[in-house]
Amino acid sequence: MNEAIRPGLETAKQATALPVLSVVVPTFNERDNVTKLYRKLEAALDGVAWEVVFVDDNSPDDTWDVVRALARQDGRVRCIRRIGRRGLSGACIEGILASSAPYAAVMDADLQHDETQLPKMLSLLQSGQAELVVGSRYIEGGSADSFNRSRAGASALATEVAKRALGVAIADPMSGFFMIRRDRFEQLAPQLSTQGFKILLDIVATAHGDLKTVEVPYTFGSRLHGESKLDSMVALDFLGLVLAKFTHDVVSLRFLLFAMVGGTGLFVHLGTLYVALKLFGLPFPQAQGIGAFVAMTSNFILNNFLTYRDQRLKGFAILGGLLAFYLVCSVGLFANVGVAFSVYDKQPIWWLAGAAGALMGVVWNYAMSGLFVWRKR
Ligand code: GDD
Ligand code: MN
């Protein structure tokens, strides 16, 4: 062993206190729940060397501040306060990677997940019976009665799609409650999506069946305080994950949405052209120019609300973004026409040349918009 990292006598003594289990808890506006969860963990994990890592996205209700207070009293409590970022999956990934315990669990802060299952989950991992243990609502002994009917239906449908499209074999791939062996997680981590909510599905799909998994039943409780952060956009998010995994990360949902928005732009363009020509009697070149202008503007607005919802430009930044978008699209138009011409030159098939040009245009616009308009900060 390298001399520099050989444990000294002191550190060797401390080694007994090193955590075996890291419980990672993503939080957003959970200030009334975190202390209760901490107490419950303390009771449930009696006799286990554990730690809890709260990953808070700078909650407006100052959840992180409550966690800091706990951490000052108990070294097993840790707090990661992330600024300028949102996202459940990313928070979980970051929390797991910020710890070094050989086993990591993920659970909600709101007491919906049954912490008394943790010792059992841990022993399944420690005994080598599993590399991943999932708290499941959908096997004998588990339940999700606290779900309202529409959410229960949506959850069941998503589970079915995931199973069929991705060949995921577990009963509850949407669960937000699981425990995994660190070394296996570290192997998969670089391929996981930091966007979205479905981290477990992502882990299971990315492992392609090569992850010994056991499910334990639990009852999905009612949220203690506050409200669910998962809105209807989770459906979109879910489809994006299925699509990306299904195409081995070739097609992203973002690209698909961007292309669809581009498609709506065509109709906006033609509609505007019609109005400008027929109702206002403008000459064709002007009408065509106005059509393109209106279409680019509506594309920008739709992309800002849908495609780049998570990085939405706000306030003054909208103006800068819009100008950059006009510029990107104008160059994209040249690329489009250029490619169409050169294809038509070799193969005078109008629809082939047109489609090649349009594809070039949308790929260009997408790539450049990601760089210059909705740039990741
Ligand atoms: N850091 C961070 N950032 N945490 C977040 C964010 C975020 O953007 N959004 C939500 N959270 C935290 C919440 O504070 C909570 O502790 C946990 O993530 C889950 O969010 P909830 O709002 O409680 O979701 P839910 O109860 O509707 O859905 C849960 O249960 C489902 C079924 O098991 C989640 O665990 C889902 O992933 C799960 O599918
Ligand atoms: Mn919850």
Give the span between the Cα atoms of 84 and 341, in whole angstroms. Answer: 45
Please give the number of the atom of ligand 1 that sits closest to the Cα of 30: 14
Pairing mode, strands 103-106 and 132-136: unpaired
For residue 273, the CA-to-ligand 1 centroid distance in Å is 46
Residue whose CB lies within 8 A of the most ligand 1 atoms, among 34, 38, 85, 88, for a mutation test: 88
Ligand 1 neighbours by CB, cut-off 6 Å? 26-28, 30, 55-57, 86-88, 91, 108-110, 112, 174-177, 197, 220, 228-230
Q: Which protein residue's CA is at the shortest distance from atom 27 of ligand 1?
A: 228
Residue 244's pLDDT is 81
Please give the number of the atom of ligand 1 that sits closest to the Cα of 112: 26
Residue 248's pLDDT is 78
Please give the number of the atom of ligand 1 that sits closest to the Cα of 228: 22
Contacts of 295 (CB under 8 A, 6+ apart): 265, 266, 268, 269, 272
For residue 203, the CA-to-ligand 2 centroid distance in Å is 20
Ligand nearest to the CA of 108: 1
Residue 126's pLDDT is 97
Q: Which protein residue's CA is at the shortest distance from atom 38 of ligand 1?
A: 176
Q: Is there a contact between 258 and 307 (Cβ–Cβ < 8 Å)?
A: yes
For residue 309, the CA-to-ligand 1 centroid distance in Å is 18
For residue 137, the CA-to-ligand 2 centroid distance in Å is 13
Residue whose CB lies within 8 A of the most ligand 1 atoms, among 59, 229, 232, for a mutation test: 229
Give the span between the Cα atoms of 140 and 191, in whole angstroms. Answer: 32
Ligand nearest to the CA of 227: 1
CA dist list (Å): 19 to 6, 89, 103, 140, 335: 19, 23, 9, 32, 56
Q: Is there a contact between 239 and 173 (Cβ–Cβ < 8 Å)?
A: no
Mean pLDDT split into 10-residue runs, the chain, 377 residues: 57 69 97 97 96 97 97 97 90 97 97 96 97 91 76 81 84 93 97 86 92 94 84 75 80 86 93 94 92 95 90 92 95 90 89 89 92 83
Residue 372's pLDDT is 92
Pairing mode, strands 50-56 and 132-136: unpaired
3-state secondary structure of 103: strand
The total of other beta-carbon atoms located within 10 Å of residue 20's CB is 15
Give the span between the Cα atoms of 178 and 108, in whole angstroms. Answer: 10
Helix then strand then coil, % of the chain, to nearest 5? 55, 10, 35
For residue 103, the CA-to-ligand 2 centroid distance in Å is 22
Q: Is the pTM of this model over 0.85?
A: no
For residue 70, the CA-to-ligand 2 centroid distance in Å is 21
**Residue 317: both structure tokens together:** 């930044």
Q: Which protein residue's CA is at the shortest distance from atom 25 of ligand 1?
A: 228
For residue 223, the CA-to-ligand 2 centroid distance in Å is 6
Residue 16's pLDDT is 56
For residue 356, the CA-to-ligand 1 centroid distance in Å is 42
Q: Is there a contact between 105 and 26 (Cβ–Cβ < 8 Å)?
A: no
Residue 232's pLDDT is 67
